[in-house]
Chains A and B, each alone.
Chain A
Amino acid sequence: MGIFSPVIRIYHSLWVALMGVVSAWAGAGKVEINQRHMAAAPYIIDQPGQYILTSALHVSDTNSIAIVVETSDVDLDLNGFTITGPGGSSSLSAIFQSSIYDRLRVHNGNITGWTGSGAYAVHALGLANTLEQLHVAFNAQGLLAGAQSVVQDCVVYSNASVSVEVVGIDVGTGSVVRRCLVQGLGTLSGNTYGIRGAFNVTVEDCVTYQINSPDNAYGIFVNHGGVVRNGAMRWVTGGNEAYGIYAGNAASLSGSAGGKVTGGVFASAIRGGDQVSIQFCAGVESGNGLELFNDGEILSSIASTNSQWGLLAASRSRIADSYAVRNGLAGIYFDGARGQAFNNDAAYNTIGYDFNGATDWAGGNSALANSGPHFNAPAGTRLGQTVTNPGLFFIETNSWANFILTD
């Protein structure tokens, strides 16, 4: 049986001595970076090209970054190794690129131990960066990439205890985040974001799990024009507010499920701003299920067993072909004017449909076995005639009718 550790220790000492004459792994055209460079950390990359770690990097100086990138067009292969930080309160990151350099690719390795408030594992503010196949654990924060970047196949988990805002994956405008996991993220003070995107960011096939904050917690946050597809967000807990997905205006949210999203003041499994489309989504076991503001739509979605509202929208929004079941307040709630509710089903909620604003439209809906009012519709609501317990083989001539079934 090979017991590596002592043998490797001897080997490494000899190897490192010989490495003094070796500055680059010329065979592959890649420039080596290894532990001996950390004696004078940070290692500064100031020429475009390919760089590769040939050993793990340990930085013990709390005033030092491991690698600083001061040029564009750099490919940095971590080669399966780990960059370990000094721990403590230093806010420096393992890898740093300022916003004046672009197109940095970092891939294939691990980063841990960068624990000071504000520190990231990778802090890359330039344009069009690529971060992929990175495992990032026990840092203050995860990965930061500038506009038009791609972050894919990364895992961020179990961040260090800090008292400021925390972000797992943070990307600039026009970026894409896909196939990433963010798990076990929290802060002692400030907001926590599992994944945060600026404008026009796409997040697809990502999981955020156990995101906690004493203030506001977000599983996935995308600003205006964001797209979130096939996301799973669960156990998002905020002392103030909490959201599985929080999307700005003109966002498109589909195929995503949020659950166990709870806040001290307010919580929604999925929440969108104005002109937002929510399709084929599920919001369960949260404060609210699926929510949007004005001029949006919730289609073919489900809200189940939420403590407050199931599906809710403000003015001129449309909720159609959806199902709200066993929610603590109304299954479907409109808090504005001229909303539309068509062909939905609401069952076993406290209230079936609650049209809080005037002039909402509703037709073709069913309210089944709700415990309170099935249709709470003030004067001015354009509510198709309600037909209660129509019976077997019923004939109803009104194609805008709404149906109620009770005991």
Chain B
Amino acid sequence: MHHVFRLVLSLFAGLCFSAQAKDGRISLSTQDFPGILTNSGSYVLSESVVLTQAYVFAALSVQADFVTIDLNGHAITKKGGTGEYALFQGSDRHALHVRNGSLSGFDMGVRAGTAARIENVRVSDVNSIIVAGPGAHVRDVQGLGMSLEHAEPLLSAGAGSFLDGVLMAEGSGATSSGPPFWTLVGEASLVHRLIIQDLVSSQTTSATVLSAGMGSVLRRVQLGSLQSEKNLTGLSSSRGIVSHSSVDGLASVSGDATGIRYGHGLVREMQIRLVQDTNGAANASLEHAMWVDSQSTGFPFLPASHILETTRMARNTLNYGSLNVQGGGSALRDNQLNNSTNHVVFMSGVGKNLAIRNSASGNPLPMFSGGLPNGWAQVEAFPDVFFVFTNNPWANLQH
């Protein structure tokens, strides 16, 4: 059969812009680029492609649904001039599958419509690596060398998407403009094993590193070594779950830095450290959230963690910071709060917050500050060995 296949190829060599691979897929080579795919089908790169034209809209513009492009381990590279997209599919299309290769040197790696599948792809030297519609399935994707100078997110996926095994690193922006959301996923998305690190922006507008829509479930998200000129928030979401994640090294040069901003959901097993800014406003903000079993260790530059009303905060460790409880309806249980340079807990709002069985150490000032109708249990200071507090099992402890 190979002989037959070779015969076919020889017959049509020179007649076709494209050829058929031995498994029936349509083979794409340098002569096909830049190109337009108008038919559904399964396409495979037979070689790496380098585009050097002054302007290219898209290396491949996909004007069909159900298109599979197997990069087959090859790369599509734009050198010199302008290339808007490596792979482009309009937002009214669906089911673009891209896999197994590299895209480099374009403004955007992949723009896809609904229900895209992008896997095992490396995208480098771009402004954005992927912008996909709802129902995207993105797995094992690396984005390296990104520019933070445009409004489009570095990575964006619509509602109900699934991101797993995505690494985004080494990005910078030297101008005052930049994306408000460096990474954006729509509501009810599932994000698993996402690493975003080593991004530095000079943008003078507020930015969020990862914004996940309502009801999203985020696990094993790691954000590290991130900096912006103005207000910078690490992770922002609501009405879902964040777990087994970390924000480690987040800085604002002249604005506020916030590790996590969350509402109406559940945050657990979350580590936040080295969140810093020059305004002294760096914080982890939990609004209407529940934060349990967290290990928020080491806040050497974190002066305050805000709880904005109706939050249950239980079994957390907070070091080198104070807890500012605003509004009412919050409960602080079984937290460990160490090395604050101020009061450990400020209850500054309308009250009706409760604090029981917390412990603090290394704090020069009284553990709590605030007034009625808040309630906190008696603070037992300097208990000795074999202490017995039979008169108050709810006591807060301070050493």
Query: Closest residue of chain A to B219, judged by CB?
Result: A230
Q: Establish whether residues A405 and B66, one from each chain, have CB atoms under 8 Å apart when the complex forms.
A: no
Q: Mark A64-98, 1 if CB is under 8 A from B, else 0.
A: 00000000000000011110000000000000000
Instruction: Evaluate whether A183 and B290 lie within 8 angstroms (CB atoms) in the complex, with A368-B354, A405-B351 already known.
Output: no
Cα separation A395 to B392 with both chains bound (whole Å)? 5
Give the complex CA separation of A179 and B193 in angstroms: 13
Q: A207 to B162, Cβ gap below 8 A?
A: yes
A276 to chain B, nearest CB (A): 18
Q: Which residues of A contact B16 (CB under 8 A)?
A: 7-8, 11
Bound: A333/B390 CA distance, A? 32
B134 touches A4 (CB 8 A): no
Complex CA distance for A8 and B40, rounded to whole angstroms: 12
Interface contact tally, CB-CB below 8 A: 314
Asked if A25 contacts B392 (CB within 8 A), the reply is no
A43, CB-defined interface residue at 8 Å = no
Note all chain A residues with C-beta closer than 8 A to B192: 205, 230
Nearest B residue to A392 via CB reads B376
Chain A residues, Cβ within 8 Å of B115: 135, 137, 155, 157, 181, 183
User: Which residues of B264-317 are within 8 A (CB) of A?
Assistant: 264-266, 268, 288, 290, 292-293, 310, 312, 314
The segment out of A26-34, A122-130, A140-148 that lies at the interface is A26-34
Most chain A beta-carbon neighbours within 10 Å: one of B4, B164, B292, B395: B292
Task: Report A375 CB to chain B, min CB distance, Å.
Answer: 15
B1: Cβ under 8 A from any A Cβ: yes
Interface pair B38/A4, CB less than 8 Å apart: yes
- Chain B residues contacting A395 (CB-CB under 8 Å) are 377-378, 391-392, 395
Which residues of A, 359-407, contact B by the 8 Å Cβ criterion? 366, 368-369, 389-399, 401, 403, 405-407
Contact B353 A394 (CB under 8 A): no
Contact B243 A280 (CB under 8 A): yes
Q: In the assembled complex, which residues on chain A have CB atoms less than 8 Å from the CB atom of B265?
A: 257, 282, 284, 302, 304
On chain A, the residues within 8 Å of B70 by CB distance are 80
A24: chain B residues within 8 A (beta carbon): 1
Whether a CB of chain B sits under 8 angstroms from the CB of A259 is yes
State whether A205 touches B190 (Cβ < 8 A): yes
* Chain A: minimal CB distance from B327 (Å): 10
Tell me if A233 and B188 are in contact (CB < 8 A).
yes
CB–CB A285/B392 < 8 A: no
CA distance A395 to B393 in the complex (A): 9
Expressed in whole angstroms, the minimum distance between the Cβ of A368 and any Cβ of chain B is: 4
- Cβ contact within 8 Å between B328 and A282: no
B residues 3-24 with Cβ under 8 Å of A?
4, 8, 11-12, 16-20, 22-24
A397–B78 alpha-carbon span in the complex (Å): 73
Residue B254 is within 8 A (CB to CB) of chain A in the complex: no
In the complex, which residues of chain B have a beta carbon less than 8 angstroms from the beta carbon of A301? 266
Shortest Cβ gap from A8 to chain B (Å): 7
Question: Assuming A207-B160, A257-B241, A304-B265, is B37 touching A54 (CB within 8 A)?
Answer: no
Would A282 and B239 count as touching, CB distance under 8 A?
yes
Given the known interface contacts A5-B39, A255-B241, the answer about A390 and B375 at a Cβ–Cβ threshold of 8 Å is yes
Contacts of A60 in B (CB 8 A): none
Check: B33 CB closer than 8 A to any chain A CB: yes
Task: Give the interface residue-count category, chain A.
Answer: 35 or more
A55 to B95, CA, bound (A): 17
The answer to whether A52 has its CB under 8 Å from any CB of chain B is yes
Minimum CB distance partner of A6 in chain B: B38
Contact: B354 with A405, CB < 8 Å?
Answer: yes
Within 8 A of A (CB), among B191-219: 192, 214-217, 219
Bound together, the chains give a CA A133 to CA B95 distance in angstroms of 12
Tell me the complex Cα distance, A135–B40, Å: 13
Q: In the bound complex, do residue A14 and residue B12 qualify as a contact, i.e. CB atoms below 8 Å apart?
A: yes
**Docked CA distance A81–B39 (Å):** 11
**Alpha-carbon separation in the docked complex, A256 to B241 (Å):** 7
- Asked if B266 and A56 sit within 8 Å, CB to CB, the answer is no
**A3 CB–B CB distance under 8 Å:** yes
Most chain B CB atoms below 10 A, which of A18, A179, A206, A390:
A390
Question: Is B256 on the interface with A (CB-CB < 8 A)?
Answer: no
Q: Residue A8 contacts which of B18, B190, B331, B393 (CB distance < 8 angstroms)?
A: B18
Say yes or no: is B261 at the interface (Cβ < 8 Å to chain A): no
Chain A, residues 243-284, CB within 8 Å of chain B (1/0): the string is 000000000000111111000000000000000000011101
* Bound-complex Cα distance A54 to B22 (A): 8
Q: Contacts of B188 on A, CB cut-off 8 Å?
A: 207, 209, 232-235, 259
| B310 CB contact (under 8 Å) in A110, A282, A300, A347 | A347
CB within 8 Å for A282 and B266 given contacts A32-B24, A396-B394 = yes
Q: List residues of chain B with CB under 8 Å of any chain A CB.
A: 1-2, 4, 8, 11-12, 16-20, 22-26, 31-43, 66, 68, 70, 94-95, 97, 114-115, 117, 134-135, 137, 139, 159-162, 164, 187-190, 192, 214-217, 219, 239-241, 243, 264-266, 268, 288, 290, 292-293, 310, 312, 314, 328-331, 333, 351-354, 356, 368, 370-379, 390-395
**15 A–B contacts, CB within 8 A, in A order:** A8-B16, A25-B22, A109-B42, A181-B161, A234-B214, A255-B241, A257-B239, A325-B264, A345-B312, A345-B331, A347-B331, A368-B352, A389-B373, A397-B390, A397-B391
A residues in contact (CB < 8 Å) with B: 1-5, 7-8, 11, 14-15, 18, 21-22, 24-28, 30, 32, 34, 52-56, 79-82, 109-110, 112, 133, 135, 137, 153, 155, 157-158, 179, 181, 183-184, 205-207, 209-210, 230-235, 255-260, 280-282, 284-285, 300-302, 304-305, 321, 323, 325-326, 343, 345, 347-348, 366, 368-369, 389-399, 401, 403, 405-407
8 A-B pairs closest in CB distance = A54-B24, A80-B68, A80-B42, A347-B329, A209-B160, A234-B188, A2-B17, A399-B393
